[in-house]
Structure 1
């Protein structure tokens, strides 16, 4: 099972990434843009994800992924049940969410280091 600490190990080294505790919820953001957030009970992780691809992600694994609440559908956002999220899949989701929030020059300089 993926935990907040697992995500923290990925997010803490990402350029411009900061961790915040907002209304008893752990959130990772770049500037004012949140790219990963957890429910108060830390059982659900919301993350940035392209709107045009989220239906396919959910359809491929509806036990793990689901849409955010209706008021958040306008955002590039998907949610995942941490108890079902694959530990090998989580780093890619976090990195892609972060990549959506930083300038191309930042992520293109960082991502080659991962290879």
Structure 2
């Protein structure tokens, strides 16, 4: 039986580390997850230069803009990496949809992972 936690960053960590060869290390003082040795696919944003508890993730072209336009209360364009198509997702709002978070994490991983890891992730 999987232990549940109410800490959103811990839940995010578990989703990220469940992917093939995913690793964690600090980036800019925040937990971040990488596809093996590189590149980064998700970064926690615990009030990183603003008041939000969120995460930032790699996204396919156009996805961030579309999601922000559809649900600006939940999604945002993060500083520093938003110009590269990254997406921000708020974890500090009520009723986080963890199935949606899992899908975003998986999509981010597949977006940046080398082909051999993308194939292994399903």
Gaps of 5+ in 1: none
Distance 1:2 1:67 in 2: 23
Q: Which has the higher contact order (CA 8 A, sep 6+)?
A: 1
The runs of 4+ residues in structure 1 deviating greater than 3 Å are none
Alignment length (residue pairs): 110
Matched position secondary structure for 1:27: strand
Per-residue CA deviations over 1:17-68 (Å, capped at 9, x if unaligned) read: 1011234211011223111111244711001112322211111111000111
Per-residue CA deviations over 1:63-108 (Å, capped at 9, x if unaligned) read: 0001112x43331301111123422211000001011121233222
- Please name the residue that 2:24 is paired with: 19
Equivalent pair of 2:33/2:40 in contact (CA under 8 Å): yes
- Please name the residue that 1:106 is paired with: 117
- Please name the residue that 1:63 is paired with: 73
Match among 22, 29, 36 for residue 34 of structure 2: 29
Matched position secondary structure for 1:98: helix
Give the 3 Å change call, closer, same or farther, for CA 73–10 of structure 1 in structure 2. closer
Q: CA RMSD in A?
A: 2.1
Equivalent pair of 1:2/1:83 in contact (CA under 8 Å): no
